[in-house]
Structure 1
Amino acid sequence: MSAEYDYDLFTIGAGSGGVRASRVAAAHGARVAVAEEYRVGGTCVIRGCVPKKMLVYGAHFAEDLEDAKSFGWTIEGKRFDWKTLRDHVQNDVTRLEGLYGQTLGNHKVTIYNERATITGDHEITLASGKTVTAKYILVATGARPHVPEFPGSEHVITSNEAFHLDELPRRILIAGGGYIANEFAGIFNEFGSKVTIANRSDTILRSYDASLRDRLLQISMVKGISFLFHAEFERIDRQADGSLLVSLTGQEPCEYDAVMVATGRVPNVEGLGLETIGVELGRKGEIVVDAFSKTNVDYVYAVGDVTDRVQLTPVAIREGQAFADSVFGPGEPYAVDHSCVPSAVFSHPPIAAVGLTEGEARNQLGNIKVYQSDFRPMKNVVAGRNERSLYKMIVDAANDRIVGIHMIGPDSPEIMQAAAIAVKAGLTKADFDATVAIHPTMAEELVLFK
């Protein structure tokens, strides 16, 4: 590698994408350094999908313990202690943070636990004043929750703070209609909070199939979650007793103990010095990159949420891997395919999807076939729970190829991971039909569509 610079690669941000890129580049023989001003691991590990999934697991026990009665179990004296779960989750986050740092260290990656700013051509200055040079710079600083500005907005929390609450709010308002809003609504609801979702439109989870959105809305309302549509913040006032008086458009002012905003995420680009070397930003402040994650500046790359392509951890990891292999590896450069990416919403019950929705398929393909299974899982039948699952398969009528699968029901994300391989591989409905079912399972519905 080049002796002209202090490092072959300097990565700003040690989240999922930055860590993967740095580790792989080092494995290819590059001299690599990473700067992280907060905690190694990034959004997913420290304040995102990992601790959130742990809270989801904890929330599931609320219904499981109740359902256990129908399966012959007697559980006396059950109670939930928020602080116990909160602290166990944070302890595991700290454990994972250590493992991420250990992985970088094992690959001889230099870690700077401080902020880094681009101050010149191939030049990075650390908060301590140290200046280093690098042949390539990778920006992997992720994104942060968007907090709208209105009178009293200083009283709201985001998903970042939700993991550290001293106590559970008795009444919580969650603003937003996306996956974060619906996931935390399910979590707080199962923990006993009275949850209200306020959405500025009349649609939740707008990127998902309409049938799944409607089913989740119906189930959530049965579980006691309230929804306010076409409702935007006017103001929030803190009252003498500490409660928050919230005024929303079209609604009477109402009291809550906490207000959480989950209204999207914005790329972390401020203060990085990108303007110093002329890195191009997009309309939303995202770093503009090509298919190979390269910016308009030849030696500067960016991966993950800061590029606002697909804001999912596995996508950032793929982008980081592709960057490191392409720039430092012995093989030919390659780009990440951002099409047909599976996703999940860890709501109660969860949603999972891959490929085109029914609406998208009709618009793009015209002639399609839609197969649907609306059923009550066996466990719910025994438990006396009326909650129904919905599986949906979208097929291109011209060639029998499956172009979309959509599911809402217990363990849908676990089932979807294998099904997504089939959709990505271009398998047909006939391929699914020829596969013998595993009985009795919920997943067998995927090979029994008629």
Structure 2
Amino acid sequence: MSTSPDYDYVVLGGGSGGIASARRAAAHGAKVALVEKGALGGTCVNVGCVPKKVMWNAAHISEVLHDMKNFGFTGSAEFDWSFIKKRRDAYVQRLNGIYRRNLDGSGITEVQGLGSLTGNPNEVLVTKPDGSTETLSAKNVLLATGGYPSFPPGDGVAEHAISSDGFFELEELPKKAVVVGAGYIAVELAGVLQALGSDVTLVLRKNIALREFDEIISSTLDSEMQRNGIKILRDTGGVASISAEGGKKTVNLQAGGSVTDVDAVIMATGRKPLTGSLNLEEGGVSLAPSGKIAVDDYSATSSPSVFAVGDVCSNVELTPMAIAAGRRLADRLFNGDADAKVSYDLVPTVVFSHPPIGTIGITEAQAKEKYGEANVKVYRSKFANLWYGVFDMAFEDKPVTAMKLVTAGPNEQVVGVHVIGMGADEMMQGFGVAMKMGATKADFDSCVAIHPTASEELVTMAPWGQGVQESGAKVPPLNGADVVPSKL
């Protein structure tokens, strides 16, 4: 006589994807347990997007204070790192409590410990903090354990550098910091530290940061980081070793040269999926060549009844992506929606660099490769935000906002939108909706612009506005302060 499983759904991992899927399943009437050994909320809440945005906000205020004299304000303000750290950490703890109350309110059983698979696809072994174990049986198991920052090899690297996680443990603002990496985490942390007063050096293994982004993004960010005072070391091959003496560190580079008298070295050189403790081989779960868990379009792994969402399996490592995948999976498993699956196409993305970046779709280079160069038309615009209109400086010395629309086909369907500049983070969501609906350049042109805003540039580009059409006449960019109210 068979016995019923303890649960309909056991979720390993209390991050964004795991909690979202667990709560959606419980809303459909499933009996759910969630296994987590650490703080609820995962990377995003504890050492990722949430505390990072708090620090980005602090950095933005520093920039505003720097600019205030241009608007008639006088005076000065001092920054207290310990104050914002205390406030930030308290906010994260409140979020941890909210997540726990949400689990309780959804009727989900929280199990403290480290979960792993067994030879039975319907079982999970939980190792408790005291070393004891408990076996949970379930109709379905979800792996949502996320990822962790990885360090490159090198003498003294592990001993004398910190990861992006360690950034949030810093008790004071480093006077001199080295950030190693070319991805979004590296440029975000470099920008925050510089804006708050650190002397920052960004170490790149190759030539430029954000190489996978459209060239208008990577090149503009590169020049803006340098304008802000960040030193960029290029084609270094990475870090060879790090030594420390008297509280100061020396970073030695593969290509030669070094950075001395450094207070903090932050490694932002990549992340790996957190799979080591899951006992995947015993559980019959296969890995993709990337080292992540292999899943199909429906989040199913190679083992029956075992699924995966989030950074442990996805190439789109974004919190909203994990949440969407987890919810669609729960809809399919527990609400009879057989076709429920998440779409990984046209996912809007924001990088909280200085200036911020918003992007969706494919790059110009990708579009030309996919559709053929003759079938791609590109629209560009570079200008100074109206914020800088009253600044007593030459136009060429003002911070740049850059935009690009990438279109394909005879109807000029918009296949890429790329923006860098003040407000880029807040304007991208609406354009993401438009692209999901198949918007064309004509649709953008037909929308009356909101003036005066930076986003109006995206709907007033050449031939109607001041932007530059790749195949058309080259119109000089205008100062954003001088843009006329209507160009239609």
TM-score, length-scaled by structure 2: 0.90
Q: Which of 156, 160, 163 is the aligned partner of 2:161?
A: 156
Q: Which of 307, 312, 331 is the aligned partner of 1:306?
A: 312
1:397 to partner: Cα distance: 3.9
Structure 1: unaligned runs, 5 residues or longer: none
Partner residue, 1:378: 386
2:42 aligned with 1:37, yes or no? no
2:406 aligned with 1:394, yes or no? yes
Q: Secondary structure at the match of 2:389?
A: helix
**Aligned residue runs from structure 1 range 114-129, under 5 A:** 114-121=113-120, 122-128=122-128, 129=133
**Distance in 1 of aligned mates of 2:423 and 2:185:** 18
**Distance in 2 of aligned mates of 1:321 and 1:75:** 50
2:136 aligned with 1:132, yes or no? yes
Partner residue, 1:271: 277
Q: Which of 252, 261, 278 is the aligned partner of 1:247?
A: 252
Paired letter, 1:20: A
Question: In the TM superposition, what whole-angstrom CA distance separates every residue of 1:215-263 from its partner, at most 9, and x where no partner exists?
Answer: 1100100111011112211111111x11111110223232111111111
Question: In the TM superposition, what whole-angstrom CA distance separates every residue of 1:152-189 from its partner, at most 9, and x where no partner exists?
Answer: 01211011010120111111111100000000000000
2:357 aligned with 1:358, yes or no? no
Q: How many residue pairs align between the two structures? A: 447
Structure 1 residues 142 and 72 mapped into 2: Cα distance closer, same or farther (>3 Å)? same
Q: Secondary structure at the match of 2:200?
A: strand
**Distance in 2 of aligned mates of 1:53 and 1:435:** 31
**Distance in 1 of aligned mates of 2:230 and 2:116:** 44
Paired letter, 2:150: H
2:186 aligned with 1:174, yes or no? no
Partner residue, 1:73: 73
**Distance in 2 of aligned mates of 1:415 and 1:224:** 27
1:88 to partner: Cα distance: 0.7
**Distance in 2 of aligned mates of 1:119 and 1:359:** 46
**Distance in 2 of aligned mates of 1:284 and 1:84:** 41
Partner residue, 1:215: 220
Q: Secondary structure at the match of 2:328?
A: helix
**Aligned residue runs from structure 1 range 324-343, under 5 A:** 324-343=330-349
Partner residue, 1:438: 450
Q: Which of 201, 210, 232 is the aligned partner of 1:227?
A: 232
**Distance in 2 of aligned mates of 1:298 and 1:204:** 41
Question: In the TM superposition, what whole-angstrom CA distance separates every residue of 1:48-82 from its partner, at most 9, and x where no partner exists?
Answer: 00110110000011110121111122234x10000
**Distance in 2 of aligned mates of 1:138 and 1:435:** 44
Question: In the TM superposition, what whole-angstrom CA distance separates every residue of 1:86-140 from its partner, at most 9, and x where no partner exists?
Answer: 1111111111111111111101000012111223302222213122211111000
Q: Secondary structure at the match of 2:390?
A: helix
Paired letter, 2:185: I
Paired letter, 1:73: F
Question: In the TM superposition, what whole-angstrom CA distance separates every residue of 1:194-216 from its partner, at most 9, and x where no partner exists?
Answer: 11111111131122110111011
Structure 1 residues 206 and 427 mapped into 2: Cα distance closer, same or farther (>3 Å)? same
- Contact 2:208–2:222 (CA under 8 A) maintained in structure 1: no
Partner residue, 1:142: 146
Paired letter, 2:190: A
> Comparing 21-30 with 225-234, which one deviates more in the overlay?
225-234
1:146 to partner: Cα distance: 1.1
Paired letter, 2:80: D
Structure 2: unaligned runs, 5 residues or longer: 463-488
- Contact 1:152–1:237 (CA under 8 A) maintained in structure 2: yes
2:431 aligned with 1:427, yes or no? no
Q: Secondary structure at the match of 1:325?
A: helix
Partner residue, 1:55: 55
Q: Secondary structure at the match of 2:402?
A: strand
Partner residue, 2:208: 203
> Comparing 161-170 with 113-122, which one deviates more in the overlay?
113-122
**Distance in 2 of aligned mates of 1:149 and 1:298:** 37
Q: Secondary structure at the match of 2:240?
A: strand
Q: Secondary structure at the match of 2:117?
A: strand
> Comparing 199-208 with 340-349, which one deviates more in the overlay?
199-208
1:332 to partner: Cα distance: 2.6
**Distance in 2 of aligned mates of 1:351 and 1:277:** 41
Q: Secondary structure at the match of 2:381?
A: strand
Query: After the TM superposition, which segments of 4 or more aligned residues of structure 1 sit over 6 Å from their partners?
Result: none
RMSD: 1.3
1:384 to partner: Cα distance: 4.1
- Contact 1:35–1:113 (CA under 8 A) maintained in structure 2: yes
1:284 to partner: Cα distance: 3.0
2:95 aligned with 1:96, yes or no? yes
- Contact 1:267–1:305 (CA under 8 A) maintained in structure 2: yes
**Distance in 2 of aligned mates of 1:17 and 1:95:** 19
Question: In the TM superposition, what whole-angstrom CA distance separates every residue of 1:346-388 from its partner, at most 9, and x where no partner exists?
Answer: 0010011111111111111122111111111111122347111
Identity, in percent, stands at 41
**Distance in 1 of aligned mates of 2:408 and 2:31:** 49
> Comparing 112-121 with 130-139, which one deviates more in the overlay?
112-121
Question: In the TM superposition, what whole-angstrom CA distance separates every residue of 1:304-354 from its partner, at most 9, and x where no partner exists?
Answer: 000032111111001001110011113333221111111111001001111
> Comparing 382-391 with 370-379, which one deviates more in the overlay?
382-391
> Comparing 314-323 with 225-234, which one deviates more in the overlay?
225-234
**Distance in 1 of aligned mates of 2:197 and 2:3:** 60
Q: Secondary structure at the match of 1:95?
A: helix
**Distance in 2 of aligned mates of 1:64 and 1:383:** 13
TM-score, length-scaled by structure 1: 0.97
Paired letter, 1:7: Y
**Distance in 2 of aligned mates of 1:384 and 1:211:** 27
